[in-house]
Amino acid sequence: MKIGWSFPRNLVCCLFACCFSIGASRAQAQRLPSTVLPQHYSLILTPDLKAATFTGSETIDVTLAEPASSITLNASEITFQSVTIFAGGKYQTAAVSLNSDKEQASFSVPDQIPAGKVTIRIEYTGILNGELRGFYLSKTAKRNYAVTQFESTDARRAFPSFDEPAFKATFDVTLVVDKGDTAISNGPIVSDKPGPAAGKHSIRFLTTPKMSTYLVAFLVGDFKCSSGVQDGVAIRTCSTPDKIGLTPYGVDVAKYVLHYYNNYFGIPYPLKKLDLIGLPDFEAGAMENFGAITYRETALLIDPKTASENAKREVALVIAHEMAHQWFGDLVTMQWWDNLWLNEGFATWMENKPIAAMRPEWNIDQVVVSGLDSTLNIDAQPTTRAIRARAETREEIEQMFDGISYGKASDVLLTVENYVGAETFRKGVHSYLSQHLYGNATAENFWDAQTATSHKPVDKVMEGLIGQAGVPLLTFGQPSGGKVSVSQRRFYLSPSIQADSSQKWTLPVCFKASAGKQDCQLLTPETTSLDVPENQPFFANAGGKGYYRTAYTQGDYAAITSHLETSLTPAERISLIGDEWAQVRANGAMVGDYLNLVSAVKGDTNADVVSSALDGLSSIRDRVAATPQEKDALEAWCRQTFEPEYTKLGPPSASDTPNKKQLRALLFATLGDAKDPQILTQAREISQKYLADQNSVEPNIAQTALQITARNGDAKLFDELQKVSETSTNPEIQSGALHLLALFEKPDLAQRALQYAVSGKVRNQDAAIQLAISLSTDNNRDLTWKFIQDHWDEVKKEFTPELGSSLVAATSTFCSAQARDDVSQFFSSHKVPAADQTLKHSIERINGCIELRNLQEPNLRSWLEAQLHSNTNSAH
């Protein structure tokens, strides 16, 4: 599953940093006994889209390990009509008892069921709910659709099942649907016959491979598809009929990715078809159902002619992520949710490879290192968790889908791959998959395969990185005689936290060598020095791929920064910028030192390098500068620093590379945030032109212009954007317009945006996100928070089961003790489901901001005064 929504990058980082759990509550475990093993399910489902109900007829073939008088499985929101158990040549009618807390049903019979093969036959009914989970309704203005989302524990809402990942089985699915509708499931259609009732037809699908229940999917409606074929596999991208024109891009990407993965894994895609389906209502970003991947529309359906480079890249990456799951997660599945990283970390790491090969101009290696830097910050919070952590209850499992399972796990794989070599690592991946085809696996299974293939201590490296929370900080001395002293300790962003001196890691440390090469050494808990290559400047994270922070001597740091643009690759520059900003937050460096580094990369031609530098600059403006005068002075410096760089790029041209388009839009946004008068005027003009004709303006600059203009926009612009959000059939444009409403800063329009978010006119997949965007906007934060408190009943009714936590996470943008206490008290008495840990992390981030401001604001003030003095002297 891909957790991701289309909204501003700084808010994405904020939410991912807060929406993760640590440790586990002491809620009762909900595991099923291991004495009953399902082998095969036969399902016939008849949804009623108008009544929002369905009927089910189910047969489950199981193997009973020992005689029993009852069988227990999972069921939720199911009404049982009859249950019959056949075993030992005898039919018995079962009595059904329900445990709603455990979401389990037990079938008891008068006579003991013998060990061996058993068949369970169930007739039941269920509801097509509105909660975006299980078997649920998705709606457009014209009609209803019946669709599914089962990960992690919601297959039980659609059919009684052994709803745990290790209980793999095969599935026969038949859907009885209205005459004018079609259906999609995991396998291809093998028959389509009229009946059994008038106006209905029955669509039967090919038997699936052995797989987990959470990967089953069925979708009913009038879907339309674009199609193609790759390596003998039929590929389709499907949507509601009004968006069929936005589906070809997905087919093209999927064809490339499928061929790439077939070659990389050395194991062909195992199904005969692959469908990618965009759904109007979908809580997550996408879901890797075997052979029938479902997506939020913004994550799949775009027009490459009008889409921004970021949108095209993100859609491609999400497609690649979900397709990687067809091997990592579907073909080989984690044994239990505590090893979720085996699914999500792998897919996050793997998604980058085919897209980097398909579109090298997107500089995916830089995107990867930027993501690694963000993860290091998440993992350096006061409380975090190990990649592998206890998860027994539904709430504990859902909170595993976080920046640790995705980001840290992916970055650990990147570190290990860089250590053993790409081809050796690929062979280890092939060995791991081959050993567990159609089965389940653990962390040990993976690192044992890599250790055996590489003949390096991968198991020792991964045991520490997977089993321990936190980020290593490596502090280096001055290299001398081919050696350098090194010490390690756990790194925290808060300087007030003292690290446990006994916590150590076994880590590969890769030094930059001459001619673009690297020299990797193994750091153990006992190591005090390492061999280093003769290379200047000394740099201890070649390629920026190591899962650690670095600290250098003052002389070595000065040597690195003086040759920043010539001696380091763009990815290494991103790594260095991230390390320096982390040191500022930990009070190991002055904020002025970081701003000097920003100035040093102002002319960098790589958008991702400049973006990394500007992320810290944005944090300084929002979380360090404490007075309007300081913010004004910082904005003036920003205009003076970046206006010449923006001018050098010139106006948009048809010959612009994707990188140049992104860099121009980035600098345009930066100057707009800094209130550059010329940029503000240009933004208004571009916005008007774009709204009149979306093909008339280069999309990267157009969308940026709208963000700038919306902040100071009037009611006329608000009305225009609201209309676009309600009428556009292009998800990127529609959702973009919706999110812009949350940026308007005029109080009456900000209030309108908040009321609109909870009016019922915004899909509940988007409502909490709208409020989160408003909370992240400096000038709207207090207004938004008061609105949330005053309209709590209206707000909470818009929450989906998981997205309410995004609203709680957005409160982390406050930066005062009063706001912290207010947030804590409010959510203590107004509980949000699955958000207890999110609230804890939001409070920690607010405390972190208070601490950062107290420590660094005087340094910022001194630096700004020095800049003013320097400019005054220059003028004279």
Length in residues, the chain: 876
Q: How far apart are CA 313 and CA 310, in angstroms?
A: 5
CA dist 87 and 117 (Å) reads 7
Tell me: cis bond preceding 152? Omega within 30 of 0 counts. Answer: yes
Cβ neighbors of 37 (< 8 A, separation 6 or more) are 62, 63, 65, 162, 167
In order of 9, 321, 756, the CA distances from 731 in angstroms are: 18, 20, 19
What residues have CB less than 8 Å from 644, skipping those under 6 apart? none
Q: Which stretches within 359-442 are classed as H helix?
A: 364-378, 394-398, 409-420, 422-435
CB neighbour burial string for 376-410, b if at least 16 within 10 angstroms, e if fewer: bbbbbbbebbbbbbbbbbbbbbbbbbbbbbbbbbb
Give the distance, in angstroms, between the CA of residue 554 and the centroid of all CA atoms in the same chain: 37
Which amino acid, 585? R
DSSP state of 242: G
Contacts of residues 513-516 at CB distance under 8 Å and 24 or more positions apart, as own/partner, are 513/542
Neighbours of 821 (CB within 10 A): 12
> Starting from the edge strand earliest in sequence, which strands make up the sheet with 286-287, in order?
224-230, 233-239, 273-279, 292-296, 286-287
Q: Do 83 and 92 touch, CB atoms closer than 8 A?
A: no
Element (H, E) at 619: helix 607-623
Torsion of CA 583, 587, 592, 598, to 10 degrees: 20
Dump strand ranges (E) for 492-569. 507-512, 518-523, 529-531, 549-551
- Report the distance separating Cα 813 and Cα 618, nearest Å: 12
* 90: enclosing H helix or E strand: strand 90-93
Radius of gyration, CA atoms only, the chain: 28
Peptide bond into 801 cis (omega under 30): no
Distances (CA, A) of 717 to 85, 419, 720, 753, 762: 64, 53, 5, 13, 19
- Residue 554's CB: how many other CB atoms inside 10 A? 8
Q: Tokens for 61?
A: 């073939």
489 - beta bridge partners? Answer: 473
CB–CB of 450/416 below 8 Å? yes
Beta bridge partners of 219: 184
With tokens 């690195």, the residue in question is 560
CB contact set of 313 (below 8 Å; sequence gap of 6+):
355, 359, 362, 367
Tokens of 631: 């913010």
The helix/strand count (H/E) of the chain reads as: 29, 28
* Residue of 283, 297, 314, 322 marked active site: 322
Q: Reduced to 3 states, what is the DSSP secondary structure of residue 856? A: helix
CA–CA separation, 792 vs 837, rounded Å? 20
Residue with tokens 């979306």: 694
Other Cβ atoms closer than 10 A to 628 = 8
322 a catalytic residue: yes
Q: Which two tokens stand for residue 563?
A: 């040759």
Residue 487 DSSP SS3 = strand
d(CA 325, CA 2): 10
User: Annotated active-site positions, please?
Assistant: 322
